[in-house]
Structure 1
Amino acid sequence: MYIDSHFHIWSLARGDYDWLTPQLPLIFRDFGVADWRAQFGQRGVSGGILVQAAPTGAETTFLLEQAERHADVVFGVVGWADFERDDAPARIQSLAADPRLVGLRPMLQDLADPAWITRPSIQPALQAMSSAALTLDALVRSVHLPYIDALAQRYPELTIVIDHAAKPAIATGHDRDAWVQGLRALAAYPSVYCKLSGLWTEAAHGAPVSVVEPWANAALDIFGVDRVLWGSDWPVLRCAGEAQEWFDCAMSIVASRGQDAVAKVFGANARRAYRV
């Protein structure tokens, strides 16, 4: 059975998804765990990691509640916490007491300062995460990778997962060299993993899923099959295409590297990265 290392749910009435607007009609509605299961359960996905989609403490509470209700399939929650609060370390320690919380994700791609994560005021929160054995999900692009490199060097015990393989500009290809260079630098740290997810939505609108293959293969070449995790990025995936297309494409890419690779990328690596 497989593990989806990255899926979302949301309830629009909660009102804290600033990025989610009617301009995204394919995903501008409520999505629950049952919607995700309907898409991926029939493909052998037995469970997954539920990832935050709003930068609020209320979002983390909501996801943990959903994880409790669906404990059979939600293996862990990557939530959000305000790293800039003076009491951030204590709050993180309190959150970590819930075994369902496996990580935290500041939404770095949406912040004006690409170096935000290296600010001195943020370091106590990161140290608290490291001490609590929580995984940092890095929602980043190529411009952020040097700063994630600095974190990996500073906190060798902190597990870092690069979401969506750092969202390369597949539609234009303009940042490929910086993307490859940044990922190669991070791959030198055993504590850093890379998610094979969210790539199709970085391609041009209407592009076939096959367009992601060279980028997915590059990520696998750089990190190896021991530190790549497959994720659906459901339901954001709907903006690019169908669940079955992405699952089949990713499976084909990974399976070409052997059945051991499938077992790792579609399961074992997620268990290790998130300690589930």
Structure 2
Amino acid sequence: MRILDTHLHLVYQDRFSYPWLANAEPLNRQWTAESYFAEAEKLGIESAIHMEVDVAEPDIAGETAFVTQVHPRVIGAVASGRPEHEGFAEYLDLLVRNPKVRGVRRILHESPNELSQTPLFAENLRRLAPYHLSFDLCLRADQLPIGADLADKAPEVHFVLDHCGVPKVAAMELDPWRQYIRELASRPNVNAKISGIVAYAKPDWTVDDLRPFAEHVIESFGWDRVVWGSDHPVCTLTANLTRWVEATHQILSGASDDEKAKLLHRNAERIYRV
């Protein structure tokens, strides 16, 4: 079963600045496309969409231009963006000149809640729809109602919830996360990404630790609105790419081939238009 990875981070410290990596020492090094695909291809991952890596703001345009030509198997990119800024419309006009850009993300799980609550933020999100660009929601579990509010304010935009909504996997804290997920899934313009949960798990996690989180997201959103992502290299905080792919297959062991195909590549091809 081929896999399209919708959440690959590449780090090229010789080209760009990543201020947040100073506080993430295990990740604070070069992570190249060549090293990723050397492992990924053996696991059935045939292609990937690059997810912006929160580079320093002056490097945003450079990162997008670079990753969309860095490797033939990187077939699209979700670019960084600042919908809270007045100049976002002009930024989009330039961004869409790159045919491999498929969406925009603004890191919100480490930002003040107020950042995304302004009328300007919602107005700028609505600007994505005419360009057929999606918006990846990176929110903590306690912020999921913010995601529902944004989805309501931009109903023509396709949203993708990253990392199952960043639940507290290590603490097995299922509630109120489960209710928030159900409420978000009731918005037809929101999709969800089965990714990231290994990074929020205990270092000695088992598949049974991950299963209730992944299965609840799939049950809530349905097989037509879920995609898969590696979150590499962040997944290496508690595992490696191989182990996360193996865990995914174990979680999906009871699914049909059609359901597996939807999650592992087919939905992503439709949602991200690749």
Shorter-chain TM-score tier: over 0.9
What is the CA-CA distance between 1:236 and the residue it aligns to? 0.8
- Alpha carbons of structure 1 residues 31 and 248: separation in structure 2 relative to 1, 3 Å: same
Q: Secondary structure of the equivalent of 1:244?
A: helix
Tell me which residue corresponds to 1:4: 5
Tell me which residue corresponds to 2:152: 153
State the alpha-carbon separation in 2 of the partners of residues 124 and 225 from structure 1: 30
Tell me which residue corresponds to 2:75: 75
State the alpha-carbon separation in 2 of the partners of residues 166 and 83 from structure 1: 20
What is the CA-CA distance between 1:159 and the residue it aligns to? 0.5
CA deviation string 1:133-188 (max 9, x = no partner): 111001111222111111212222101000001110011134x2221111111111
Tell me which residue corresponds to 2:115: 116
Tell me which residue corresponds to 2:196: 198
Q: Secondary structure of the equivalent of 1:194?
A: strand
**8 A contact 2:122–2:153 mirrored in 1:** no
Tell me which residue corresponds to 1:143: 142
CA deviation string 1:56-91 (max 9, x = no partner): 252342233232232x31121111122232221121
Q: Is 1:246 the equivalent of 2:247? A: no
**8 A contact 1:255–1:261 mirrored in 2:** no
Tell me which residue corresponds to 2:22: 21
**8 A contact 2:199–2:235 mirrored in 1:** yes
**8 A contact 2:3–2:44 mirrored in 1:** yes
The equivalences for 1:157-196 within 5 A come to: 157-174=156-173, 176-196=174-194
The equivalences for 1:58-73 within 5 A come to: 58-70=59-71, 72-73=72-73
Tell me which residue corresponds to 2:254: 256
**8 A contact 1:170–1:202 mirrored in 2:** yes
Q: Secondary structure of the equivalent of 2:224?
A: coil
Structure 2 unpaired stretches of 5+: none
Give me the TM-score of the superposition, normalised by structure 2: 0.93
**8 A contact 2:223–2:262 mirrored in 1:** yes
What is the CA-CA distance between 1:13 and the residue it aligns to? 3.6
What is the CA-CA distance between 1:242 and the residue it aligns to? 2.1
**8 A contact 1:64–1:77 mirrored in 2:** no
What is the CA-CA distance between 1:199 and the residue it aligns to? 0.2
Tell me which residue corresponds to 1:131: 130
> In the alignment, residue 81 of structure 1 is paired with which amino acid?
G
The number of residues matched between the two structures is 272
Structure 1 unpaired stretches of 5+: none
- Alpha carbons of structure 1 residues 171 and 60: separation in structure 2 relative to 1, 3 Å: farther
**8 A contact 1:52–1:79 mirrored in 2:** yes
The equivalences for 1:31-42 within 5 A come to: 31-42=31-42
> In the alignment, residue 103 of structure 1 is paired with which amino acid?
G
State the alpha-carbon separation in 1 of the partners of residues 119 and 32 from structure 2: 37
Tell me which residue corresponds to 2:94: 94
> Stretches of 4+ moved more than 6 A in 1?
none
State the alpha-carbon separation in 2 of the partners of residues 219 and 164 from structure 1: 10
What is the CA-CA distance between 1:207 and the residue it aligns to? 2.4
- Alpha carbons of structure 1 residues 130 and 118: separation in structure 2 relative to 1, 3 Å: farther
**8 A contact 1:209–1:246 mirrored in 2:** no
State the alpha-carbon separation in 1 of the partners of residues 114 and 191 from structure 2: 20
State the alpha-carbon separation in 1 of the partners of residues 246 and 22 from structure 2: 29
What is the CA-CA distance between 1:15 and the residue it aligns to? 5.3
> In the alignment, residue 104 of structure 1 is paired with which amino acid?
V
What is the CA-CA distance between 1:121 and the residue it aligns to? 2.4
CA deviation string 1:104-155 (max 9, x = no partner): 110101112x242221121232121122111100111122211111121222
State the alpha-carbon separation in 2 of the partners of residues 104 and 203 from structure 1: 27
State the alpha-carbon separation in 2 of the partners of residues 201 and 187 from structure 1: 23
> In the alignment, residue 222 of structure 2 is paired with which amino acid?
G
What is the CA-CA distance between 1:24 and the residue it aligns to? 2.5
Tell me which residue corresponds to 2:49: 49
